Chain A
Amino acid sequence: MNRIVVALACAALVTLVSGCNSKPQANAPAGSKPGAARPTERNALPPAALKGRTLLTKAQLDQAMQSGTLDRPVNSLLTVDGPLHFGDFVWNDKAIPAGPTWVRIDLGKQIMSVFRGPNEIGTAVVVYGGDNKQTPAGKFHILMKDRDHRSSLYDAAMPYTLQLTGDGVSIHGSTVRWGAATHGCIGLPLEFARRLFEQAKVGDEVVIVPPSKAGNSAA
């Protein structure tokens, strides 16, 4: 009897240790269903990049493309536990392969997502234009970068400016706090703005999703 108990304990121990050692391998297919077929290029993330990242299944991606949430294929999103607070951000580009940078800004959710290719590398809470000075929605390209820009119109510092429109709507570092708004720009936490400034280039695409209006969603 004692031998049986000890043998069972050893078997459990071996199983546990092997499970601990095979953590990355066990984590790799965590976001994917075994039966779901995925394009090969979307599975090209190295194991080191999988930590803190949620791989999208094909069903998720198809649903997002059909509903208009995404306008292009996305491989992975950052795993964020719970709502971010104002001023919080997550940046994780570890082992993410090179690719074109593009930015998605959801004004209604007050969330920015920075992508490198099909993988999200950063997300943050943003502030946007007030009711009198609304932030335009649509697709824009970064027209100009200025690390230490100062607004001639508002006589205010706009660090790490990425200008989007000819009339000055930009993405820049700002004070991000609850209830605040801008004159049409997108305000980011300063450190996040610095990282985005280092990442983005002139010509990169920025997609600004307008806040959904009740009643207009069906139209």
Chain B
Amino acid sequence: MSTAPPVQASWLANRRAIGIAAGIVLLAIAAALSISSFWRPGGGNGVQNALNAGANGINNGVASALNAAKSVADLLAGRSPGERAEGTLANLKHRRLPALHERALPKVRRPGATSPLAGIVGAAPVPPAEVLPPPPPAPLYNVVAGGPGAPIAAPPPGGGPVIFPAIPPPPGGGGGVIIPPPVTTPPVTPPVTPPVVIPPPPTGAVPEPSTWAMMLLGFAMIGRALRTRRRAMLQPAAR
């Protein structure tokens, strides 16, 4: 029992000495790192750089040791984001604009032949096209779809847009006939191609009345079916 207090005293003294030594070590480490960082020519940020350098050194050492155990293929694969399962084309570049000759309005090189660019550009073949209505007082010419050799000289009463037949402007026979109206003005040679060709209008955003009617009818049928089915399912439960 008499030896116990000296042991405790020496243990406390040792603890104090260990604490002091640890403090000295920490201070010395900080000083050494900061001094070594100042010694480096590019070291700008003192302790931070030194700590980073030390950490990088340790990391590099560990990483190099680990990398030495890997194959080159594994090293290269380790930086890969992964293989691509399926390539989606044309996500990078802008949509390809049509070439200059494709941007022009389609032309008919041979009567009765569709444009070879029709499938590329995606426009309608060539002319089912509309011709702007001529001015009502003196229409240049009128086109009426009729049988071959059936000229009708009467102008259309309403002056609305006149639709060409599906055959391009130079009539290939059997199509419409272009007859200049009897006017007093000097004769105007009808142009080979329509003066203004408007591409076929896109489908309207508002559905046609028949489409509306069909949709409403469909909804009505669906509602009726649901109601009858629900009623049929509820009836046994009510009993």
Contact = CB atoms under 8 A, between A and B. Distances in A.
Interface of A: 1-2, 5-6, 8-9, 12-13, 16-17, 20-21, 23, 26-27, 30-33, 51-52, 54-57, 60-61, 63-64, 67, 69-70, 74, 77, 79-86, 106, 108-111, 113, 123, 125, 127-133, 151, 154-156, 174-175, 177-183, 187, 211
- By secondary structure, the B interface counts as helix
Contacts of B76: 69, 77, 106, 109, 111, 113
Residues of B in contact with A, size category? 35 or more
Contact of A56 (B54, B72, B81): B72
B166 interface: no
B215 interface: no
B68 A5 contact: no
B48 to A, nearest CB: 15
A174 B79 contact: no
Given A54-B67, A110-B81, A13 B75 contact: no
Interface of B: 10, 13-14, 17-18, 20-22, 24-25, 28-29, 32-33, 36, 53-54, 56-57, 60-61, 63-65, 67-68, 70-73, 75-84, 86-94, 96-97
Contact of B61 (A13, A26, A33): A26
B92 A187 contact: yes
Shortest 8 CB-CB contacts between residues of A and residues of B: A130-B89, A130-B87, A30-B64, A181-B87, A64-B72, A109-B80, A9-B21, A156-B93
A57 B67 CA distance: 10
Given A26-B57, A110-B81, 18 more contacts: A1-B14, A2-B13, A9-B22, A9-B24, A17-B28, A20-B36, A23-B54, A27-B57, A51-B56, A64-B71, A64-B72, A70-B72, A74-B72, A110-B80, A130-B88, A132-B89, A178-B81, A182-B92
